[in-house]
Chains A and B, each alone.
Chain A
Amino acid sequence: MKLTFHIWRQKDRGARGRMEQYQSDNMNPDMSMLEALDVLNEELILRGEEPVAFEHDCREGICGSCGFMINGVAHGPLEKTTVCQLSLRHFRDGESLYLEPWRARAFPVLRDLMVDRSPFDRIVAAGGYISVPAGSAQDANTILVPKNDAESSMDAAACIGCGACVAACPNASASLFTGAKISHLGLLPQGQPERDSRALRMVRQMNAESFGQCTNIGECEAVCPKGISLEVINRMNGDFIRAAWKE
């Protein structure tokens, strides 16, 4: 199949970027979007042009490395699918595709389609854990977790930290990401002792990065490749308010 790519090219963080157009006539509908970029890059290298930089690793939709906008939608048109698992059969022969990096002040562009998502690590470092030194745990079955709680916790824990939620949000808010971690741990009995401090610290760290505020638009949920629900934001807000009140 034939595709026309319009791809954001930017040499480094400080450089000015621009859209460049590339015509590809030998695409196969079974390819993934990243395999299409691989093929394009091979062609570019042979023509003496620098290949398009993009992040990727597992190519199974779980590591969270990949992600960019396709025609203005984070991870493209297919629901609950990262770009590494998005096959070209979902596009029309002859279609034009506009590929751009995540756009958010907190995620500066490093090169082409690559951005810096290190604020996510800093949010997790600010209490996104349960403090349990190795070797100090009791027998696992002494902590009983109701099946439904375990399932809801797992729903939130499925977040892959790709950043699509931030990219899709008109405010570039990281609430879905932060709420997912707060919910994952806060829904489990093990997470209770630090529940308040976790909510306070993580939310404050999120606010200290350059993310915007959540205004309940819901774009994040719509693009999330793991289907993380807006409920996690409610839970985050609830935990934060309760903890702030107690404080």
Chain B
Amino acid sequence: MNTPLDARIPSGPIEKAWEKCRFEMKLVNPANKRKYEIIVVGSGLAGGSAAATLGELGYNVKCFCFQDSPRRAHSIAAQGGINAAKNYQNDGDSIYRLFYDTVKGGDFRAREGNVYRLAENSVKIIDQCVAQGVPFAREYGGTLSNRSFGGAQVSRTFYARGQTGQQLLLGAYQALERQVDAGTVKMFPRTEMLDLVVIDGLARGIVTRNLVTGAVECHVADAVVLGTGGYGNVYYLSTNAKGSNCTAIWRAYKRGAMFGNPCFTQIHPTCIPVSGHYQSKLTLMSESLRNDGRIWVPLEKGDKRKPSDIPESDRDYYLERRYPSFGNLVPRDVASRNAKAVCDEGRGVGEHGLGVYLDFSDAIKRLGVDKIRERYGNLFEMYERITDEDPYKVPMRIYPAIHYTMGGLWVDYHLMSTIPGLFVIGEANFSDHGANRLGASALMQGLSDGYFVIPYTLGNYLASTKFATVDATHPQFLSAIESVAAKTRALLDAKGTRTVDSFHRELGKIMWDECGMSRTAAGLESAISKIRELREQYWRDVRVLGGGEEINQSLEKAGRVADFFELAELMCLDALDRNESCGGHFREEYQTADGEAQRNDEQFSYAAAWEYAGDDQPPKLNKEPLTFEYVHPSQRSYK
């Protein structure tokens, strides 16, 4: 059995590790596969591809999503592309280089073995997706087209206009529907997981709420796979879909799955700035825009002239100035932090001074309007629709926003959490991106986990585990149902004076201010006490109308926000504990003389895995030491 924090990384050379691991795994006899019940929660790139592939292998799969259809999962909103080490452009790419870039980009806080496997699988993902009919961009000769993307010096990104996530998700969704048609996958849309059931130390099922009837139900299984995405909505304003939430992973955490690196969050540099207090979410624009757009602010603070009236000599192209070799293509964390820095200096643009220009006028001069329209037309339209400004004529205004969470449930090399039988894939786990994710890597990870990792490792778990017969009348199921019902009652019975959204907005503000782009010990400490106070008020004063046995969107939100409160505190605790800066985690106390993140490898070269110890106890910190045999930790430099 898995002892906590044994990452089960195969020994031997990294190039052979995954192959060796696959060979050593036990297999499930084809005739026995249909005897196993597998639950997959989430239907995005990770969950959808996993459910489809497991169904195809012959397992009995139940797949759950809270949306009305699996095709709505938030992977659909990814724009820019997916990386793969195909080296079709003959420009020096290789599996090793993608591995190297990802470990370095993650600021040496990811596990080498996982990242190497990810780079290896990237190649097969493109093959698989093309065969499925994903309409990637093509050259005139009919071969696949590539572009370079955020932080990479080779062209390894495959894309389908600005809708790559949509097309990859539709590929996975179609594969999933094919299994639904074949009868191997049963789909449960409009169904939300509200608890995990652990029996004799093994994950044996989940408790769900039917979002139409309100019915709370038990589902028994031999293994549970969570592909439920990230928790960026803890900040209220983020680029995540409104429904994206942490409830599934948080319930699993409270049932014993450790939470890895909760404070590692990614701020995306190219989002449309906030325009008013009513704002419900932030809109991201693909950072592929940085390939041709130049980022600048006025040289002098308080310069209120129109951008067209500011001559070249009064502009500061600060990324090109500070990072001459990467320029506007520095990784996301670096680009975001620099944007915040120039705005903090008072040089930000737009009504609230929280924005920088992303200017296409040079690219339009060089390439012509048509070329720019072909590359970015849909993004320009989207920008104009929201801001009422035409980016062909006026520079775009952008500002960083919460976009992705590198943290998530801790998993070993097999993608299994510290609860045997509970697997976690895609953004919901913590594994591959370290402290910062590179652009076009999230889609890659979701599909690698779902199509090419979980089908092997889950089989190995099933083949090497003895299962007691369990049904939904087991006391653990009954008590989980009771605790779900009690929580619902508490939310409905509070009958307070404030809406769920008003609390969520306030929580988000605390998190953005103190646990966002830059963090300090004092700020984090004050955030923790504010969060506790607000959470206490929440349970007393929240107002959720309607009942539990009907469609009740406020009730759904209320349950999710209750979990965000608890997760927010853990994020702050983790950020406070990590006395260094790395990737997206920037502690003001730890920076180099020129303001770059300063890691402390002596003390913090580990993945933090937090263990729930009860509501009235602080969580326990476990550490998985990270060793770097191949990519030697260095100060990241993009100069």
Contact = CB atoms under 8 A, between A and B. Distances in A.
Contacts of B126: 140
Contacts of B174: 124, 128-130
Given A35-B278, A58-B76, A141-B88, A129 B187 contact: no
B135 A137 contact: no
A55 B53 CA distance: 29
A46 interface: yes
B127 interface: yes
A9 interface: no
A20 interface: no
A241 interface: no
B181 A38 contact: no
Interface in B110-155: 124, 126-133, 135-144
B161 interface: yes
A230 B178 CA distance: 26
Interface string A94-128: 00000000000000001100101110110011111
Contacts of A57: 67, 72, 74, 241-243
Interface in B543-589: 543, 545-546, 550-551, 553-554
A246 interface: no
Contacts of B187: 121
Contact of A144 (B142, B189, B212, B497): B142
A30 interface: yes
A25 interface: no
Interface stretch (A59-67, A69-77, A167-175, A212-220): A59-67
A166 interface: no
Contacts of B93: none
Contact of A161 (B69, B86, B280): B69
A55 B68 contact: yes
A116 to B, nearest CB: 7
B333 interface: no
B56 A133 contact: yes
A34 B553 CA distance: 14
Contact of A140 (B86, B275, B276): B86
B278 A85 contact: no
Contacts of A190: 130-133
A39 interface: yes
Contact of B551 (A12, A49, A128, A154): A12
A120 B69 contact: yes
Nearest to A187: B135
Contact of A12 (B77, B550, B553): B550
Interface string B51-71: 011001000000000011111
Interface string B319-340: 0000000000000000000000
A64 B73 CA distance: 10
A147 B242 contact: no
A65 B127 CA distance: 30
B337 to A, nearest CB: 25
B167 interface: yes
A228 to B, nearest CB: 13
B376 to A, nearest CB: 15
B144 A140 contact: yes
B242 A143 contact: no
Contacts of B178: 125, 129, 131
A134 B452 contact: yes
A137 B124 CA distance: 8
Contacts of A143: 130-131
Interface string B172-210: 011101101100000101000000000000000000000
Contacts of A114: 551
A38 B77 CA distance: 21
Given A46-B499, A154-B161, A31 B278 contact: yes
A85 B129 CA distance: 29
A118 B451 contact: no
Given A65-B72, A116-B68, A135 B142 contact: no
Interface stretch (B307-315, B380-388, B523-531, B598-606): B380-388
Given A57-B67, A143-B130, A150 B135 contact: yes
Contacts of B175: 129, 132, 134
B446 to A, nearest CB: 14
Interface string B375-404: 000000010011010000000000000000
B382 A85 contact: yes
Contact of B163 (A111, A137, A158): A158
Interface in A160-218: 160-161, 184-185, 188, 190-191
Taking each of A78, A129, A138, A184, which has the highest tally of chain B beta carbons within 10 Å of its own beta carbon?
Answer: A129
Contacts of A136: 131
Given A63-B72, A144-B143, A111 B382 contact: no
Given A85-B385, A184-B133, A63 B241 contact: yes
A60 B403 CA distance: 14
B545 A132 contact: no
B2 interface: no
A234 to B, nearest CB: 19
A38 B504 CA distance: 13
A21 interface: no
A130 B132 contact: yes
B77 A60 contact: yes
A143 B131 CA distance: 8
Contacts of B139: 147
B279 A35 contact: yes
Contacts of A158: 161, 163, 166
B69 A38 contact: no
B38 to A, nearest CB: 15
Contacts of B160: 154, 157
A140 B69 contact: no
A173 B173 CA distance: 23
A139 interface: yes
A199 B131 CA distance: 19
Interface in B27-68: 49, 52-53, 56, 67-68
B138 A150 contact: yes
Contact of B131 (A89, A137, A160): A137
B56 A63 contact: no
B135 A188 contact: yes
Contact of A60 (B56, B173, B283): B283
A56 interface: yes
Interface in A9-50: 11-12, 28, 30-32, 34-35, 38-39, 42, 45-46, 48-50
Given A28-B276, A161-B71, 16 more contacts: A12-B550, A38-B280, A42-B501, A57-B67, A57-B243, A62-B165, A63-B67, A85-B386, A125-B178, A128-B174, A134-B175, A135-B124, A135-B451, A144-B142, A157-B167, A190-B132
23 contacts: A28-B276, A42-B499, A46-B497, A48-B545, A49-B545, A51-B553, A57-B241, A58-B72, A58-B241, A58-B242, A63-B241, A117-B69, A129-B177, A137-B124, A137-B127, A138-B131, A140-B127, A146-B142, A154-B135, A158-B161, A161-B69, A185-B133, A190-B131
Interface of A: 11-12, 28, 30-32, 34-35, 38-39, 42, 45-46, 48-51, 53, 55-65, 78, 81, 85, 87, 89, 110-111, 114, 116-118, 120-121, 124-141, 143-147, 150, 153-154, 157-158, 160-161, 184-185, 188, 190-191
The 3 closest A-B CB pairs, nearest first, are A144-B142, A129-B174, A137-B131
